[in-house]
Structure 1
Amino acid sequence: MVGPGTWSLTRAALIIFLLHGSLEQCGHIRLSAPIVRLGDPVTASCIFGQNCSHVGPESQILWKLGAELQLRGRQQHLPDGTLESTITLPHLNHTQAFLFCCLLWNNRLQILDQAELQAGYPPSPPHNLSCLMDLKTNNLTCQWEPGPDTHLPTSFTLKSFKSRGNCQTPEDPIPDCVPKAGQSRCSIPRKHLHLYQNMGIWVQAENALGTSKSLKLCLDPMDVAKLEPPTLWALDPSSEVAPAPPDCLRLCWEPWKGSQFMDQKCELRYQPWLGAASWALAAPLLPNALQHELCGLLPATTYTLQMRCIRERLPGHWSDWSPSLELSTAELAPVIKMDTWWRQRQLDPRTVDVQLFWKPTPLEENRGQIQGYLVSWRPPGQDEAVLPLCNTTELNCTFHLPPEAREVALVAYNTAGTSRPTPVVFLESRGPPLAGLHALGRDPHSLWVGWEPPSTQPRGYVIEWGLGPPSTSSSSKTWRMEHNGTITGTLLQENIGPFQLYEITVMALYQDSVGPSQHIYAYSQEKAPSHAPELHLKHIGKTWAQLEWVPEAPGLGRSPFTHYTIFWTDAQDQSFSTVLNASSHGFVLHGLEPASLYHVHLMATSRIGATNSTSLTLMTLALEESELHILLGLFGLLLLFTCLCGAAWLCCSPRRKNPLWPSVPDPAHSSLGSWMPSIMAEETFQLPSLRDPSMPPIAKITVLEEEEKKPGPWESSDSSGTCGLPTLVQAYVLQGDPRAVSTQPQPRPSSDQVLYGKVLGSPTGSGPGHYFRCDSTQPLLGGLTPSPKSYENLWFQTSPLGAPVAPSPSQEDDCAFGPLLDFPLLQGLQVHGVEELEGF
């Protein structure tokens, strides 16, 4: 692999080769030191000879360190006519780099010369030097740790010499041992060694920045000798020697041939072959002994054994552990206690089928391994005869019990013998029963079963449990015996799975009998419902739909439904729902739109969770054409009836005092009665306050009351323009501020009515009053066209100059109303009193 330094060097050489011929051998670099300590300064100078015709006093000479362009160096002319450029790098932080001297020629940098710089550290003294004499090869092998990296090529050399005493005076030199590249170990061959004679050994490290040495060792090669491990063998049994105890192992070994004449001591370690225990060290072995008996082991157990040796009473190194030897201890007869239980079935009057169960409990730890079980029966009066009923490795067996047999014997056996027999007495079921039984699932893997004790205190209980219906296999049953007769419950944790129905049987055990069995069913944990009932459409109409479903019984391990929820969604994604009790099996959706699409689904919920049924899509029926016409007709009649009622209310309601638009009579063909709104007889006219700002301003109302004598006819004067009345009492009501002077007509709402005229009548009389128009001099129209002849106003006649002639003040004083400032058709008519003529 080509490194970056090699590539840079190749590129630099190629650049120099391609230089112009006149620049070849033009400059030369000199370094203060090519290899320095990392971080130290470096000084370099580039000398240009007289043959450099392209280099003049004004030439620019630059320096580059790798790819970094440095500042210009210090240039000077030497006495011999050469030019020198010097640069100092204050800190060299690169372990390897190239320094280039360049000339700026034709706006391009031309490399004139280059030099390689290296930086690193002096070598640290090697440490942890150790040596080992290999008796198989008779070579002295030493190894060491080189220390931190120096970033420079560093060589190591193993140096040694022969000496006497404490290695203070060297005698015969030993050739240096140079390790292979990258290794920190080296071997001195046997021909350069003197056994049982001291020699001095050390390691020397050297690079371009210095040399270092390790601590010196003074040793005898045999003092560091390492023996080869022995070979282990199993000791063959002999008829002359008693067999080993069951908890002991006997073994022997053979030393390595090259160390047969050396005094050695050895160590033996062992561990169970299939166990997870760590290695155990055996008791110290006798010196120079070649066999050993290892005791205190587990019976019927395979052990792995290893051994190592070292020189006796002399310095040296332990050998490696020998190859493993596997030995097994002998069997011991089982020492156990067994709980038993049985089931009986009468096949015929003389044959009983018995299924016997047992559970072994070791009385001593690891006291014999069981290889099988034997059930036997001894006939009465025949002590020597033993009839085997079954021989099995299982924890149960089934056999036919002879009719005269009431007891059998159960033993466990292995190659070393049998356990003590356990008698099994088949008791009769005539004890008192339990007072009560209940069970509860505590968690997915346990069941709590409790009971009320019977009337007689039992000596114990037998609890049997297994999967309930539909499973009827008796082989899957699990049982347990409780020897404490005072307990009233126990926790079952063996062979309990979640979401399963279990049948639990409890029996009380007495001294000479057994109570009747009692059963109970319980779930270890309940599941959520697996599926909801399927939803069906029974009938459908235009605005309703009848749904139905068939409720299902909950499956095993599943709790029953508590309620149903129906969801339906229309085409506009509007959702509706309703909740029904668990006894429901149908529902009618009301308020649907005709000819509309709906999506319906049913959700069934239990105590554990909920599940949805499949979705049902339905479409309501469309309306018929006749029904549509009837609905449109009814809607039209309803709309017409509403309009008629509204119009009648607008026209006939007495509270509608103001019409929708003002009633403006023709001034030329009207009287005061046509300008005033009619007042219902039952309404009372209330005079507003003279200063009430909320009331709109109205015209002056003059009420003329007749005297008791019969009045004569009225006629208007042609010259004065006043209203002549015989014996007249005049009163008026003025709303608004009469003293305010109006400079311009104010617009009035269209609903305001301006009343002007005279009211002639008696306030106490029963007859209706008479209304007469006043010969007012107030112009009624804004134009200059005279009024009609029958209602001619005096001041409206044109003057000789063509301008209207205003009436004199005396003419208006005699009138019942002052001049009218505006006409109702011209944004409302304002009628002011006589006292406001100056303002007009």
Structure 2
Amino acid sequence: MEQCGHILLSAPIARLGDQVMASCIINQNCSHLVTEWRIVWKLEPELHPRERQQHLPNGTLQSTITLPHLNHSRVLLSCCLHWGNSLQILDQAELQAGYPPIAPHNLSCIMNLTINSLICQWEPGPDTHLSTSFTLKSFKSQDQCQTQKDSIPDCVPEDGQSHCSIPRRHLQLYQDMSIWVQARNALGTSISPKLCLAPMDVVKLEPPTLWALEPSPGVAPPQPGCLRLRWETWKPSLYIEQKCELRHQPRLGEAGWDLVSALPARTPEHELCGLLPSTAYTLQMRCTRWPLPGHWSEWSPSLELITAQRAPIVRLDTWWRQRQLDPQTVAVQLFWKPIALEEDSGQIQGYLVSRRPSDQAGAEPTLCDTTELNCTFQLPPEAREVLLQAYNTAGSSHPTPVVFLESRGPPLGRLHAIARDPHSLWVGWEPPSPPPQGYVIEWGLSPPSPNGSPMTWRLEHDGSIAGTLLQENIRPFQLYEITVTPLYQDTKGPSQHVYAYSQEMAPSHGPELHLRHIGKTWAQLEWVPEAPELGKSPFTHYTIFWTNTQDQSFSTVLNASTHSFVLRGLEPSSLYHVHLMAASQAGATNSTILTLMTLALEESELHIILGLFGLLVLLICLCGAAQFCCRPSRKYSLWPSVPDPARSSLGSWVPTIAAEDIFQLPSLRDPGMPPITKITVLEEEEKKPGPWESNDGSGTGSLSTLVQAYVLQGDPRVPSTQPQPQSGNSDQVLYVQVLGSPTGPGPEHYLRCDSTQPLLEGLTPSPKSYENLWFQTSPLGAPEPLVPHPEDDSIFEPLLDFPLLQGLRVSGAEGLGGF
């Protein structure tokens, strides 16, 4: 298939974004297959359908595609055919896109005499996405590059480099030449601006070499703050006129470079002054062609020198201590501190203490020569003055006289000291009168440390102050002895001492806890407070903790003035662990643990407690039984309840009628049936008929047995329309029987039960009018009683309005016999 076609491109290399056209030519021997196959163009990785396809006169088939915007710098274009289920490639062509080269810029050249070449460099510009070549072109010229003379071979840099060197053999060092850079790729060519120069005008020399100028016998040493140095120029540049620059900076610190310019190269020595004495400096130098044009050389390697010293310019503050060894000798311990008077006062290498003789003005015997800040020597008792000097290689400071004053001045008042923080102490006093010229403050550990560290001291020149803060050599939790001595014009005052801790510590141990008394439920504790310790913070409060065997903890806080405490609420015959914690502002500490056991109860006390407990249980049981029995729901389950008829309410006493308990009886008004609707028998016993009972057996038969029942006339499910009095007692029993016939003639019978309760204050046949509806209301408003007719042969009269019979639940009629 590869021999069937080939691709023709309008341009294999184009600008990015330009239009590109391509044609795929199918050979004559393969064109008959194209009718069955479909030509597809593939521009990786996308497929493009054919745009135009035509048959050429020579019998070949041509498919053309147009890419409107080529956005790939390098891409592969393929002409393909769909053959079956696969894609067959007929031909491939590579497309490239990019930009024309930008003219190079920043072209510069340097004549390097070390390699004898003219080195030129440039900036190539942005990437073109195409292979771009650079060429350095030049020619010799005259009249400031207006006339071209001899050409110079092109210089082609290596790939990826933007500099090139023209050898010395192609150059005329003092003749002008024109130089430019040409950039070329497939889309075009560009050149940089031309540079006109003579090689020696762009020469760059090598840096000189710096040396320290050694002192010579005939030359005086450098002054303090000065340096002497020399340099050696590069040998190939000896014939070139040059000028040099020198820069310097202190080796230590953050100071910048200071520049010294216009140093002639033909005078290779220089003295640099105005520097700090006894200070190390770093120096560097560079040179250039002068007065003709040229480039500065690189900075030379660094040279380090130390400036000359100067005699110390200091003030020496002094203090001393004297001790009589014997009648002819006094031991003196002299202290001093140097105070610089100027910024560059000179480095001190040592101190010299000498005695000024009284009879000779010239000789000064040396007492001490040391690098320390103190010295011990011996003097005769009559010696009152010595001299102190600081020195170095450049000389000595002005002598400082030290006069041993006698203590004849007034003392200080109320000297005191207090710690401000763990690393400082404030010492104060009341200035004496007249005020002194200054004070000497000394402080150190008390007692002195075993390593024998000296006392720290300070001289205060202001005599009006009343205190000062000591921050030097102060450590926490240490006891310091502080001494203050006032200084006057020709004398001094007596020294005053005070002791102070830099920071107080917590007490080392707490007071010991003791048991004084103990009982069954209490224990009295006491303790003896510790004596105050120097450097220990005093106690501010106590805390007592006690724990029982069940790991229950209790505590209480007491003030520091309390020395005893009583533990209450303890359990008899129980074990307790007690300890005391003493606290201060610096911390807290615990005392030893005290273990104690409370006393046990006696046998009589135990019996009393058990008896009281039994009585309490019995009382609780009686109260519970009384409450149980007095409850209304429980009372009548143990004995019957006798109701109060005056407050009875039968409707509230009778339970709600269930549907399954109701059975149909003929109406009481039916003449063929007995008038009884429902009968409930509560109690039955043999009894003689009373005088109020009827013995007529025509209507009732034989009533040999008193039936304690009640009879409800009418339908018990029909609620009463008459008002009924309400009563708070719902547990009521039968107290009346009503016998009668609703239809037959005869007297009605109102029977009373065996209740012992009085029935409405008498044996009246009917209740009062305010208790039932026995009395009917007449049209005139007067009540009309329903009096039974003596001729009625019926036992009962209809009592439909009797309130006690409304809603009555009747059962147990079998006890009525013939009723």
State the alpha-carbon separation in 1 of the partners of residues 693 and 731 from structure 2. Answer: 29
SS in 2 for 1:223: helix
State the alpha-carbon separation in 2 of the partners of residues 64 and 823 from structure 1. Answer: 109
Please tell me whether the aligned partners of residues 167 and 200 of structure 1 are also in contact (alpha carbons under 8 angstroms).
yes
Question: Counterpart of 2:267?
Answer: 289
Q: 1:149 aligns with which of 123, 127, 143?
A: 127
Deviation per residue, 1:565-591 (Å, 9 max, x gap)? 567899999876543434678878766
Please tell me whether the aligned partners of residues 664 and 675 of structure 1 are also in contact (alpha carbons under 8 angstroms).
no
AA aligned opposite 1:76: Q
Question: Counterpart of 2:370?
Answer: 392
Deviation per residue, 1:271-310 (Å, 9 max, x gap)? 3344543222236435733333333333333433332222
- Say if 2:329 is the partner of 1:351: yes
Aligned pair in 2 of structure 1 residues 419, 470: CA closer, same or farther (>3 Å)?
Answer: closer
State the alpha-carbon separation in 1 of the partners of residues 548 and 34 from structure 2. Answer: 97
SS in 1 for 2:372: coil
State the alpha-carbon separation in 2 of the partners of residues 532 and 65 from structure 1. Answer: 94
- Say if 2:434 is the partner of 1:456: yes
State the alpha-carbon separation in 1 of the partners of residues 363 and 638 from structure 2. Answer: 145
State the alpha-carbon separation in 1 of the partners of residues 388 and 178 from structure 2. Answer: 78
Question: Counterpart of 1:808?
Answer: 797
Question: Counterpart of 1:305?
Answer: 283
Residue 197 (structure 1) shift = 0.6
Question: Counterpart of 2:732?
Answer: 753
Please tell me whether the aligned partners of residues 504 and 521 of structure 1 are also in contact (alpha carbons under 8 angstroms).
yes
- Say if 2:170 is the partner of 1:158: no
- Say if 2:375 is the partner of 1:375: no
Please tell me whether the aligned partners of residues 75 and 83 of structure 1 are also in contact (alpha carbons under 8 angstroms).
no
Please tell me whether the aligned partners of residues 533 and 549 of structure 1 are also in contact (alpha carbons under 8 angstroms).
no
Question: Counterpart of 2:643?
Answer: 675
Q: 2:408 aligns with which of 422, 426, 430?
A: 430
Map residues 334-345 of structure 1 onto 2, 5 A cutoff.
334-345=312-323
Please tell me whether the aligned partners of residues 661 and 751 of structure 1 are also in contact (alpha carbons under 8 angstroms).
no
Map residues 540-559 of structure 1 onto 2, 5 A cutoff.
559=537
AA aligned opposite 1:78: H
Q: 2:227 aligns with which of 233, 239, 249?
A: 249
AA aligned opposite 1:675: P
- Say if 2:55 is the partner of 1:78: yes
Aligned pair in 2 of structure 1 residues 85, 421: CA closer, same or farther (>3 Å)?
Answer: same
State the alpha-carbon separation in 2 of the partners of residues 97 and 619 from structure 1. Answer: 100
Please tell me whether the aligned partners of residues 651 and 806 of structure 2 are also in contact (alpha carbons under 8 angstroms).
no
Q: 2:458 aligns with which of 455, 474, 480?
A: 480
Kindly indicate which of the two structures has a greater share of residues assigned to strand: 2
Aligned pair in 2 of structure 1 residues 71, 431: CA closer, same or farther (>3 Å)?
Answer: same
Map residues 211-226 of structure 1 onto 2, 5 A cutoff.
211-226=189-204
Identity over aligned pairs, percent: 63
AA aligned opposite 2:274: G
State the alpha-carbon separation in 2 of the partners of residues 183 and 379 from structure 1. Answer: 85
Residue 357 (structure 1) shift = 1.0
Bigger shift: residues 231-240 or 626-635:
626-635
Residue 480 (structure 1) shift = 1.4
SS in 1 for 2:127: coil
Q: Give the TM-score of the pair, scaled to structure 2.
A: 0.73
- Say if 2:248 is the partner of 1:259: no
State the alpha-carbon separation in 2 of the partners of residues 514 and 575 from structure 1. Answer: 65
Question: Counterpart of 2:309?
Answer: 331
State the alpha-carbon separation in 2 of the partners of residues 300 and 152 from structure 1. Answer: 64
Deviation per residue, 1:574-609 (Å, 9 max, x gap)? 87654343467887876679999999998765446x
Question: Counterpart of 2:246?
Answer: 268
Please tell me whether the aligned partners of residues 500 and 556 of structure 1 are also in contact (alpha carbons under 8 angstroms).
no
- Say if 2:172 is the partner of 1:194: yes
Aligned pair in 2 of structure 1 residues 216, 565: CA closer, same or farther (>3 Å)?
Answer: farther
- Say if 2:720 is the partner of 1:741: yes
Q: 1:39 aligns with which of 9, 13, 17?
A: 17
Residue 472 (structure 1) shift = 7.0
Please tell me whether the aligned partners of residues 628 and 634 of structure 2 are also in contact (alpha carbons under 8 angstroms).
no
AA aligned opposite 2:285: M
Question: Counterpart of 2:808?
Answer: 822
State the alpha-carbon separation in 2 of the partners of residues 400 and 40 from structure 1. Answer: 106
Residue 317 (structure 1) shift = 1.1
Aligned pair in 2 of structure 1 residues 447, 657: CA closer, same or farther (>3 Å)?
Answer: closer
Question: Counterpart of 1:116?
Answer: 94
AA aligned opposite 1:674: V
AA aligned opposite 1:332: R
Please tell me whether the aligned partners of residues 719 and 807 of structure 2 are also in contact (alpha carbons under 8 angstroms).
no
- Say if 2:379 is the partner of 1:401: yes
Question: Counterpart of 1:735?
Answer: none
AA aligned opposite 1:753: Q
State the alpha-carbon separation in 2 of the partners of residues 545 and 108 from structure 1. Answer: 107
Please tell me whether the aligned partners of residues 642 and 732 of structure 2 are also in contact (alpha carbons under 8 angstroms).
no
Please tell me whether the aligned partners of residues 34 and 116 of structure 1 are also in contact (alpha carbons under 8 angstroms).
yes
State the alpha-carbon separation in 2 of the partners of residues 159 and 324 from structure 1. Answer: 40
Question: Counterpart of 1:638?
Answer: 616
Residue 193 (structure 1) shift = 0.3
Residue 224 (structure 1) shift = 0.6
SS in 2 for 1:675: coil
Bigger shift: residues 236-245 or 398-407:
236-245
State the alpha-carbon separation in 1 of the partners of residues 153 and 810 from structure 2. Answer: 143
Aligned pair in 2 of structure 1 residues 223, 425: CA closer, same or farther (>3 Å)?
Answer: same
Aligned pair in 2 of structure 1 residues 543, 265: CA closer, same or farther (>3 Å)?
Answer: same
Please tell me whether the aligned partners of residues 200 and 218 of structure 1 are also in contact (alpha carbons under 8 angstroms).
yes
Residue 222 (structure 1) shift = 0.7
Question: Counterpart of 2:184?
Answer: 206
State the alpha-carbon separation in 1 of the partners of residues 651 and 589 from structure 2. Answer: 73
Question: Counterpart of 1:319?
Answer: 297
Please tell me whether the aligned partners of residues 664 and 825 of structure 1 are also in contact (alpha carbons under 8 angstroms).
no
State the alpha-carbon separation in 1 of the partners of residues 429 and 251 from structure 2. Answer: 47
Bigger shift: residues 417-426 or 540-549:
540-549
Q: Unaligned 5+ residue runs, structure 2? A: 655-689, 701-717, 738-749, 752-757, 768-793, 813-819
Residue 423 (structure 1) shift = 1.2
Residue 339 (structure 1) shift = 0.5
State the alpha-carbon separation in 1 of the partners of residues 800 and 218 from structure 2. Answer: 174
SS in 2 for 1:642: helix
- Say if 2:683 is the partner of 1:715: no
Q: How many residues align?
A: 712
Please tell me whether the aligned partners of residues 513 and 594 of structure 2 are also in contact (alpha carbons under 8 angstroms).
no
Residue 485 (structure 1) shift = 0.9
State the alpha-carbon separation in 1 of the partners of residues 65 and 606 from structure 2. Answer: 108
Residue 213 (structure 1) shift = 1.6
Q: Unaligned 5+ residue runs, structure 1? A: 1-22, 667-672, 678-684, 700-712, 722-738, 761-766, 777-804, 827-840
SS in 2 for 1:318: coil
SS in 2 for 1:674: coil
Please tell me whether the aligned partners of residues 659 and 751 of structure 1 are also in contact (alpha carbons under 8 angstroms).
no
State the alpha-carbon separation in 2 of the partners of residues 598 and 78 from structure 1. Answer: 119
SS in 1 for 2:620: helix
Aligned pair in 2 of structure 1 residues 470, 385: CA closer, same or farther (>3 Å)?
Answer: closer
State the alpha-carbon separation in 2 of the partners of residues 698 and 215 from structure 1. Answer: 131
State the alpha-carbon separation in 1 of the partners of residues 252 and 265 from structure 2. Answer: 31
Two-structure CA RMSD over aligned residues (Å): 5.1
Deviation per residue, 1:434-459 (Å, 9 max, x gap)? 11233344455444332211132111
Residue 314 (structure 1) shift = 0.6
State the alpha-carbon separation in 1 of the partners of residues 338 and 735 from structure 2. Answer: 131
State the alpha-carbon separation in 1 of the partners of residues 358 and 811 from structure 2. Answer: 144
- Say if 2:502 is the partner of 1:516: no
AA aligned opposite 2:145: C
State the alpha-carbon separation in 1 of the partners of residues 36 and 217 from structure 2. Answer: 113
State the alpha-carbon separation in 2 of the partners of residues 311 and 324 from structure 1. Answer: 22
